[in-house]
Chains A and B, each alone.
Chain A
């Protein structure tokens, strides 16, 4: 069974701080997606990483896929209250199904 773990589970920081959240597995994934979900809404796709070691940047967000394609990280620089939400990672598993991590709930305080 493919599983994804995310850490930390909760994170509360002040506006302007930097942070990193992690997504880890013992399984290899063909690709990995990061989503942000706001309360009462569906997850919104932020990025997909495919190649081991790949780094993608989306404004203040930097995503990295581990060399072995088993883990990923999301780094946010100078966090803003608008970054508040649940961050989910999902790996493309067997048969085009997706395995989701439990999420990191981020709160950025003004």
Chain B
């Protein structure tokens, strides 16, 4: 069974803190993605990665950075958390091996910044 795990289901941080969200997949997928999901705005892509040490900006990268040191792990970093980063964060992975390309999601991290 495919599996994407995220380090925390719920997280509460203070404004200005540095926040790390971790994502691990066990499917040997090349692609990994970070989204945020907000009511009325749907899923918005923050960053994605096609390979180890590679990263590409998505639609809303401002205020975020990412790290991919190992194929199975993709980390999202909030350098200085702000209240407008309160959201549901979803990690996903997909394979490059042939098509169609299907994304598999983790359970999400509900982040609250106070």
Q: Pick the contact of B45 from A30, A31, A92, A97 — CB < 8 Å?
A: A97
Question: How many A residues face the partner with a CB closer than 8 A?
Answer: 22
A residues 38-52 near B (Cβ < 8 Å) are: 40-45, 48, 50
Does A85 make an interface contact (CB < 8 A)?
Answer: no
Question: How many B residues face the partner with a CB closer than 8 A?
Answer: 27
Query: What is the number of contacts between chain A and chain B, taking CB atoms within 8 Å?
Result: 58
CA distance in complex: A76, B72 (Å): 36
Q: Pick the contact of B48 from A33, A90, A97, A102 — CB < 8 Å?
A: A97
**Closest CB of chain B to A44's CB: distance in Å?**
7
Measured between beta carbons, the chain A residues less than 8 angstroms from B25 are none
Does A66 make an interface contact (CB < 8 A)?
Answer: no
B103 & A42 in contact (Cβ 8 Å cutoff): no
